[in-house]
A and B are shown apart, each in its own frame.
Chain A
Amino acid sequence: DAGVIQSPRHEVTEMGQEVTLRCKPISGHNSLFWYRQTMMRGLELLIYFNNNVPIDDSGMPEDRFSAKMPNASFSTLKIQPSEPRDSAVYFCASRRGGTGYGYTFGSGTRLTVV
Protein backbone atom coordinates (compact mmCIF):
# COMPACT_ATOMS: atom_id res chain seq x y z
CA ASP A 1 0.00 0.00 0.00
CA ALA A 2 1.74 3.17 -1.23
CA GLY A 3 -0.70 5.44 0.51
CA VAL A 4 -2.24 8.55 -1.01
CA ILE A 5 0.17 9.98 -3.56
CA GLN A 6 0.26 13.67 -4.34
CA SER A 7 2.29 15.53 -6.92
CA PRO A 8 4.14 17.74 -7.12
CA ARG A 9 5.48 18.06 -3.55
CA HIS A 10 6.36 21.68 -4.11
CA GLU A 11 5.15 24.16 -6.71
CA VAL A 12 6.26 27.73 -7.19
CA THR A 13 4.42 29.72 -9.81
CA GLU A 14 3.85 33.28 -10.84
CA MET A 15 0.60 35.07 -10.24
CA GLY A 16 -1.82 34.54 -13.10
CA GLN A 17 -0.49 31.15 -14.09
CA GLU A 18 -2.52 27.96 -14.08
CA VAL A 19 -1.65 25.40 -11.41
CA THR A 20 -2.69 21.74 -11.39
CA LEU A 21 -2.31 19.56 -8.33
CA ARG A 22 -2.64 15.79 -8.65
CA CYS A 23 -3.74 13.02 -6.35
CA LYS A 24 -3.83 9.24 -6.55
CA PRO A 25 -6.02 7.75 -3.80
CA ILE A 26 -5.54 4.36 -2.22
CA SER A 27 -6.96 1.58 -4.35
CA GLY A 28 -10.36 0.50 -3.12
CA HIS A 29 -11.12 3.79 -1.37
CA ASN A 30 -14.27 5.32 -2.77
CA SER A 31 -14.18 8.78 -1.20
CA LEU A 32 -11.62 11.48 -1.99
CA PHE A 33 -11.12 14.84 -0.29
CA TRP A 34 -9.15 17.99 -1.05
CA TYR A 35 -8.05 20.16 1.89
CA ARG A 36 -6.08 23.39 2.12
CA GLN A 37 -3.99 24.40 5.12
CA THR A 38 -2.75 27.87 6.00
CA MET A 39 -1.51 29.36 9.25
CA MET A 40 -4.44 31.76 9.36
CA ARG A 41 -7.30 29.40 8.50
CA GLY A 42 -6.00 25.98 9.49
CA LEU A 43 -7.24 22.92 7.60
CA GLU A 44 -10.19 23.65 5.33
CA LEU A 45 -12.16 21.11 3.32
CA LEU A 46 -12.44 22.34 -0.26
CA ILE A 47 -14.36 19.53 -1.97
CA TYR A 48 -15.02 15.84 -1.70
CA PHE A 49 -16.00 13.08 -4.10
CA ASN A 50 -17.84 9.84 -3.50
CA ASN A 51 -17.49 7.17 -6.19
CA ASN A 52 -15.92 9.82 -8.47
CA VAL A 53 -18.91 12.16 -8.14
CA PRO A 54 -18.48 15.58 -6.51
CA ILE A 55 -20.69 15.64 -3.43
CA ASP A 56 -19.88 18.88 -1.64
CA ASP A 57 -17.87 21.73 -3.14
CA SER A 58 -19.05 24.39 -0.72
CA GLY A 59 -15.50 24.92 0.49
CA MET A 60 -14.11 25.85 -2.91
CA PRO A 61 -13.15 29.49 -2.43
CA GLU A 62 -14.11 30.85 -5.84
CA ASP A 63 -14.55 30.06 -9.50
CA ARG A 64 -10.81 30.06 -10.02
CA PHE A 65 -10.73 26.68 -8.29
CA SER A 66 -11.96 23.51 -9.96
CA ALA A 67 -11.58 19.81 -9.17
CA LYS A 68 -12.16 16.71 -11.21
CA MET A 69 -12.09 12.99 -10.62
CA PRO A 70 -12.23 11.29 -14.02
CA ASN A 71 -11.76 7.82 -12.53
CA ALA A 72 -11.32 6.04 -9.23
CA SER A 73 -7.55 6.34 -9.27
CA PHE A 74 -6.95 9.99 -10.11
CA SER A 75 -8.07 13.47 -9.15
CA THR A 76 -6.89 16.99 -9.96
CA LEU A 77 -7.32 20.36 -8.31
CA LYS A 78 -6.80 23.27 -10.67
CA ILE A 79 -6.36 26.94 -9.91
CA GLN A 80 -6.68 29.34 -12.83
CA PRO A 81 -5.53 32.07 -12.57
CA SER A 82 -3.46 31.65 -9.42
CA GLU A 83 -3.05 34.46 -6.89
CA PRO A 84 -0.58 34.98 -4.00
CA ARG A 85 -3.35 34.33 -1.46
CA ASP A 86 -3.66 30.79 -2.84
CA SER A 87 -0.27 29.98 -1.31
CA ALA A 88 -0.86 27.09 1.08
CA VAL A 89 -0.32 23.38 1.57
CA TYR A 90 -2.93 21.36 -0.27
CA PHE A 91 -3.72 17.87 1.02
CA CYS A 92 -5.59 15.07 -0.63
CA ALA A 93 -7.16 12.30 1.44
CA SER A 94 -9.08 9.14 0.67
CA ARG A 95 -11.28 6.78 2.62
CA ARG A 96 -12.93 3.43 2.26
CA GLY A 97 -16.72 3.47 2.58
CA GLY A 98 -18.41 2.57 5.86
CA THR A 99 -18.16 3.86 9.41
CA GLY A 100 -15.29 1.66 10.49
CA TYR A 101 -12.51 3.42 8.62
CA GLY A 102 -10.40 6.51 9.03
CA TYR A 103 -9.15 8.93 6.43
CA THR A 104 -5.67 8.58 4.91
CA PHE A 105 -3.93 11.79 3.93
CA GLY A 106 -1.19 12.37 1.42
CA SER A 107 1.98 14.30 2.16
CA GLY A 108 0.63 17.45 0.57
CA THR A 109 1.65 19.91 -2.11
CA ARG A 110 3.19 23.15 -0.92
CA LEU A 111 2.07 25.86 -3.35
CA THR A 112 3.76 29.24 -3.47
CA VAL A 113 2.37 31.89 -5.79
CA VAL A 114 4.69 34.86 -6.26
Chain B
Amino acid sequence: DAKTTQPNSMESNEEEPVHLPCNHSTISGTDYIHWYRQLPSQGPEYVIHGLTSNVNNRMASLAIAEDRKSSTLILHRATLRDAAVYYCILRDGDFGNEKLTFGTGTRLTIIP
Protein backbone atom coordinates (compact mmCIF):
# COMPACT_ATOMS: atom_id res chain seq x y z
CA ASP B 1 0.00 0.00 0.00
CA ALA B 2 1.19 3.49 -0.80
CA LYS B 3 2.04 5.38 2.40
CA THR B 4 1.05 8.79 3.68
CA THR B 5 2.93 11.15 5.98
CA GLN B 6 1.14 13.49 8.36
CA PRO B 7 2.29 15.66 11.26
CA ASN B 8 1.71 13.97 14.60
CA SER B 9 -0.17 16.90 16.05
CA MET B 10 -1.49 20.37 15.27
CA GLU B 11 -3.22 23.11 17.18
CA SER B 12 -5.67 25.69 15.94
CA ASN B 13 -7.78 28.41 17.43
CA GLU B 14 -11.52 28.04 17.56
CA GLU B 15 -13.44 29.68 14.70
CA GLU B 16 -10.35 29.87 12.49
CA PRO B 17 -9.62 27.77 9.38
CA VAL B 18 -7.47 24.67 9.76
CA HIS B 19 -5.25 23.21 7.07
CA LEU B 20 -4.19 19.62 7.69
CA PRO B 21 -1.41 18.49 5.34
CA CYS B 22 -0.70 15.03 3.98
CA ASN B 23 2.17 13.86 1.81
CA HIS B 24 1.79 10.83 -0.43
CA SER B 25 4.70 10.92 -2.84
CA THR B 26 4.29 7.28 -3.95
CA ILE B 27 0.62 7.61 -4.88
CA SER B 28 -0.44 5.61 -7.92
CA GLY B 29 -2.87 6.64 -10.63
CA THR B 30 -5.72 4.59 -9.21
CA ASP B 31 -5.32 5.66 -5.57
CA TYR B 32 -8.11 7.70 -4.06
CA ILE B 33 -7.25 10.08 -1.20
CA HIS B 34 -9.53 9.49 1.77
CA TRP B 35 -9.79 11.47 5.00
CA TYR B 36 -11.35 10.13 8.17
CA ARG B 37 -11.44 11.50 11.68
CA GLN B 38 -11.87 9.84 15.03
CA LEU B 39 -13.35 11.77 17.91
CA PRO B 40 -12.56 10.60 21.45
CA SER B 41 -14.23 7.29 22.33
CA GLN B 42 -15.88 6.98 18.91
CA GLY B 43 -15.34 5.04 15.74
CA PRO B 44 -13.68 6.66 12.73
CA GLU B 45 -15.92 8.95 10.73
CA TYR B 46 -15.71 9.55 6.97
CA VAL B 47 -14.85 13.15 6.12
CA ILE B 48 -14.14 13.41 2.41
CA HIS B 49 -12.33 11.74 -0.48
CA GLY B 50 -11.13 12.61 -3.95
CA LEU B 51 -9.02 11.46 -6.89
CA THR B 52 -7.67 14.45 -8.81
CA SER B 53 -9.94 17.45 -8.45
CA ASN B 54 -10.57 19.48 -5.33
CA VAL B 55 -13.67 18.39 -3.45
CA ASN B 56 -16.08 20.15 -1.12
CA ASN B 57 -18.76 18.83 1.19
CA ARG B 58 -20.58 20.05 4.25
CA MET B 59 -17.79 18.97 6.56
CA ALA B 60 -14.64 20.07 4.80
CA SER B 61 -12.75 20.75 1.59
CA LEU B 62 -10.01 18.64 0.07
CA ALA B 63 -7.32 20.36 -1.94
CA ILE B 64 -5.22 18.01 -4.07
CA ALA B 65 -1.90 19.09 -5.54
CA GLU B 66 -1.60 19.01 -9.29
CA ASP B 67 0.98 16.19 -9.15
CA ARG B 68 -1.19 14.43 -6.53
CA LYS B 69 1.80 13.92 -4.24
CA SER B 70 0.22 15.90 -1.46
CA SER B 71 -3.19 17.02 -0.28
CA THR B 72 -4.68 19.30 2.34
CA LEU B 73 -7.84 18.87 4.35
CA ILE B 74 -9.41 22.23 5.09
CA LEU B 75 -11.82 22.84 7.93
CA HIS B 76 -13.18 26.26 7.17
CA ARG B 77 -14.11 27.29 10.70
CA ALA B 78 -12.93 25.02 13.46
CA THR B 79 -15.11 24.33 16.47
CA LEU B 80 -14.29 22.48 19.67
CA ARG B 81 -16.14 19.47 18.25
CA ASP B 82 -13.52 19.21 15.50
CA ALA B 83 -10.89 18.10 18.01
CA ALA B 84 -10.01 14.62 16.82
CA VAL B 85 -7.37 12.46 15.17
CA TYR B 86 -7.46 13.00 11.40
CA TYR B 87 -6.30 10.21 9.11
CA CYS B 88 -5.20 10.64 5.51
CA ILE B 89 -5.42 7.31 3.68
CA LEU B 90 -4.81 6.15 0.14
CA ARG B 91 -7.23 3.58 -1.18
CA ASP B 92 -6.65 1.72 -4.42
CA GLY B 93 -9.68 2.30 -6.57
CA ASP B 94 -9.18 -0.85 -8.59
CA PHE B 95 -12.24 -3.03 -8.38
CA GLY B 96 -11.97 -5.71 -5.73
CA ASN B 97 -9.43 -3.94 -3.52
CA GLU B 98 -11.41 -2.56 -0.61
CA LYS B 99 -8.67 -2.25 1.99
CA LEU B 100 -8.43 0.96 4.01
CA THR B 101 -5.16 1.03 5.95
CA PHE B 102 -4.91 3.57 8.76
CA GLY B 103 -1.68 5.26 9.80
CA THR B 104 -1.10 7.23 12.98
CA GLY B 105 -2.88 10.40 11.83
CA THR B 106 -2.73 13.99 13.06
CA ARG B 107 -4.12 14.82 16.47
CA LEU B 108 -5.88 18.18 16.12
CA THR B 109 -6.34 20.28 19.24
CA ILE B 110 -8.72 23.23 19.13
CA ILE B 111 -7.92 26.10 21.46
CA PRO B 112 -10.97 28.01 22.75
Minimum CB distance partner of A100 in chain B:
B49
Give CA–CA (A105, B36) in the complex, Å.
10
Q: Which of B65-112 contact A (CB under 8 A)?
A: 93, 96, 98-104
Decide: A43 near B102, CB < 8 A? Known: A107-B42, A108-B43: yes
Q: What number of B residues sit within 8 Å (CB to CB) of A? A: 20
The answer on a CB contact under 8 Å between B98 and A55 is yes
How big is the A interface, by class?
Answer: 20 to 34
Task: Establish whether residues B104 and A42, one from each chain, have CB atoms under 8 Å apart when the complex forms.
Answer: yes
Determine which of B46, B93, B104 lies in contact with A103 in the assembled complex, contact meaning CB atoms within 8 Å: B46
A54-86 contact mask (Cβ, 8 Å, vs B): 1 or 0? 011000000000000000000000000000000
Tell which of B43, B44, B47, B93 touches A99, judged by Cβ atoms closer than 8 Å.
B93
Interface digits, B39-68 against A, CB 8 Å rule (1 contact, 0 not)?
000111111010100000000000000000
**B43 adjacent to A50 (CB under 8 Å):** no
Alpha-carbon distance between A105 and B101 when the two chains are bound, in angstroms: 14
Q: How far is the CA of A84 from the CA of B102 in the complex (A)?
A: 24
Residues of chain A within 8 A (CB-CB) of B99 are 45, 48, 56
The yes or no answer to A34 lying at the interface (CB within 8 A) is no
Q: Are A104 and B46 in contact (CB under 8 A)?
A: yes
Given the complex, which residues of B lie within 8 Å of A31, measured CB to CB? Answer: 98
* Distance from B17 Cβ to chain A, minimum over Cβ atoms (Å): 23
Residues of B1-54 at the interface with A, using a CB-CB cut-off of 8 Å, are: 32, 34, 36, 42-47, 49, 51
Contact, CB under 8 Å: A99 / B46: no
What chain A residues lie within 8 Å of B36 (beta carbons)? 102-103
Determine if B102 and A42 form an interchain contact, defined as CB atoms under 8 angstroms apart: yes
Q: Would A105 and B45 count as touching, CB distance under 8 A?
A: yes
Kindly name the residue among A35, A56, A93, A102 whose own CB sees the greatest number of chain B CB atoms within 10 A.
Answer: A102
Given contacts A99-B93, A106-B43, 8 further A-B contacts (CB under 8 A): A42-B104, A43-B102, A48-B98, A55-B98, A91-B44, A93-B100, A103-B36, A108-B42
Taking Cβ atoms with an 8 Å cutoff, the residues of B that contact A are 32, 34, 36, 42-47, 49, 51, 93, 96, 98-104
